Amino acid sequence: MNITLLGAGAWGTALAIAFAGRHAVTLWSREEDVAADLLATRENHRFFPGYRLPESVAVSTDFAEAVADAELLVVATPIAGLRPTVERLKQTGKRAPILWVCKGFEAGSGKLPHQVVAEVLGEDAVCGALSGPSFAEEVAGGQPTAVSLAANDRVFAREAARQLHTNRLRIYANDDLVGVEVGGAVKNVLAIATGVCDGLGLGLNSRAALMTRGLAEIARLGIALGAKRETFLGLAGMGDLILTCTGDLSRNRRVGLGLAQNKSLQQILDELGHVAEGVYTAREVDALASKLAVDMPISAAVAAVLDGRLNAGEAVERLMARDPKEELA
């Protein structure tokens, strides 16, 4: 299958490496210097150093040329880059199934990725999300990984999962696109909360409680948006939450660790050098929860800390001071 990856950041590069063994892969970069580096050295020194791009992977900065022969398109930009990328795709007139690996709600509109794609390409566009407990570094390194592929077309989801599946990257088809997207988005917010918890030295009991109650928040919001409850017990729910909240490679967890040290948000992001989607998603989740009357106190606390309305210690105190309630209510 001819696959074009749109975006040569960490994830675009990692997936190009993972798919190259079985498919004809093109990696498109909007940055001329990144493309030149990849062509000259077969390494993405700017965004993903230390991993060699196979010689079989074509590298291009010509968007129309990169998508022309693609049988599958994979958008590997942050959520902020999804709309500009699919708008560019629409201008080419190219029609092919499209997946994305970004996780979050679009800033300003509060839309999930599939809503953005449908708005630009039309409701009939075959599309879906590749999401689950996965760090780009481990995928590129060939470490065993399992993720969900959810789409608006069940047949496409199953066929794409079958074709992209490898002995190192297990892909499970899923028809709950909303649930998979919500799980991938909100877990980043909760990873910031867990980083704060760890950074303040609150202990493993606190971390476990935070993650468990956080999963309840994910499920409440997802169900309010039409998702299936069982999705949140799977790879794109509990699986991704566990990884992002506990893994040292998690950018969002590192944001929380920095907030616990009273670093400014700008300082934290400058030190990261990469996008931490939870920073932007927190505000959208908080606004959406208020609009839908969904109780999400942890997410609200994260948004308040990021906006400077509370510091990390105050947020913890506010959460612990909440009245007791029934666990499964």
Q: Name the residue among 120, 116, 128 with its Cα closest to residue 152.
A: 128
Cβ-proximal residues to 224 (8 Å cutoff; 6+ apart), any chain: 292, 294
User: In this structure, how many other beta carbons lie within 10 angstroms of the beta carbon of residue 41?
Assistant: 11
Sign of CA dihedral 75, 76, 79, 81: negative
Q: Give the DSSP letter string of 267-289.
A: HHHHHH-S--HHHHHHHHHHHHH
The values of phi and psi at residue 75, to 5°, are: -85, 120
Q: How far apart are CA 7 and CA 13, in angstroms?
A: 8
Cβ-proximal residues to 245 (8 Å cutoff; 6+ apart), any chain: 187, 190, 191, 194, 207, 210, 211, 214, 253
Distances from the Cα of 328 to the Cα of 61, 107, 220, 238, 282, angstroms: 51, 31, 11, 17, 24
Q: How far apart are CA 99 and CA 97, in angstroms?
A: 7
The values of phi and psi at residue 307, to 5°, are: -85, -5
Q: Which two tokens stand for residue 161?
A: 């999962």
Q: How far apart are CA 251 and CA 272, in angstroms?
A: 7
Three-class SS state of 118: helix
Selecting among 187, 228, 263, 291, the annotated active-site residue is 187
Question: Is 103 among the residues known to form the active site?
Answer: no
DSSP 71: S
Q: Active-site positions?
A: 187
